[in-house]
Structure 1
């Protein structure tokens, strides 16, 4: 894995964690929320580990459907892609 890819993954995971925190805080304060599609996009672009961690840390979006299903599909696709690359 290149240094640039590692840096990108670290940045996207930090951004994902902060986005989940911001959305949870906004939900508590009845402020404007981050759209679910944006949270899922962050996961899709590499923030899946932080998305799962943030869900547990902040108790946010843990029972929300179809959000949870979409997040699981993204994680499965990423795991499959990583496995395919590792075996190639």
Structure 2
């Protein structure tokens, strides 16, 4: 039997995620289409393109397009008063979401870093030794980068950064960067044994600075 092709126009396309929706010419239900459904296309699909495709029904009942090709058409994004305000609204929502997400993290990081910062500043003033002011930021950046690299390797199924390497970086001043990386990247937060060692390292640093500051004042 000769395959039956349908025609329609792309009415929505999310390019960074590689999918969109087709409005069939017969006015029926919208059809989902993924970038992988296209064969031999000359340009990235966009709103307004006329599409020829075969219709399939997924197991969940969703209508999808396959064996699609771009037949022509000039992109005709729908412009109206509501759509013109969408970018502004979406940006506002994004900013609010970021503030909501990072405000608690910033507060927690500030609390944890307060003792090392005060101790390092006092050490630099008292002994002309800026080691703390240099070591903490430097090792935190290095440790954050190692966390990001380890998570990337985990996703790709590659050899991981050894946990001992991460702990050594934390111990030598990078534990604040590790804490931020854990919260932002959601990495190493569910492994209890790792968290135990991490918080032992953090406690050692906090107790050291607390003891040093109290000793100086006495």
Please, what TM-score do these two structures have when normalized by structure 1? 0.93
Structure 1 outlier segments of 4+, above 2 Å: 1-5
Structure 2 CA distance for aligned equivalents of residues 73 and 85 of structure 1: 18
Whole-angstrom CA distance in 1 between matches of 2:135 and 2:207: 20
Between the aligned partners of 1:17 and 1:28, the Cα distance in structure 2 is 17
Distance in 2, Cα, partners of 1:81 & 1:5: 12
Higher helix share: 1
Deviates more, 1:62-71 or 1:1-10: 1-10
**Take 2:212 and 2:130, find their aligned partners in 1: how far apart are those partners?**
18
Higher strand residue share = 2
Match for residue 150 of structure 2?
Answer: 23
Shift of 1:4: 4.3
Answer with 1 or 2: which has the greater Rg.
2
Mind listing any 5+ residue stretches in structure 2 that lack a counterpart?
A: 1-123
Corresponding position of 2:171: 44
Q: Does 1:70 align with 2:197?
A: yes
Please name the residue that 1:83 is paired with: 210
- Number of residue equivalences: 88
Give unmatched runs, 5+ long, in structure 1: none
Q: Distance in 1 between matches of 2:147 and 2:130?
A: 26
Match of 2:63 in 1: none
TM-score by length of 2: 0.39
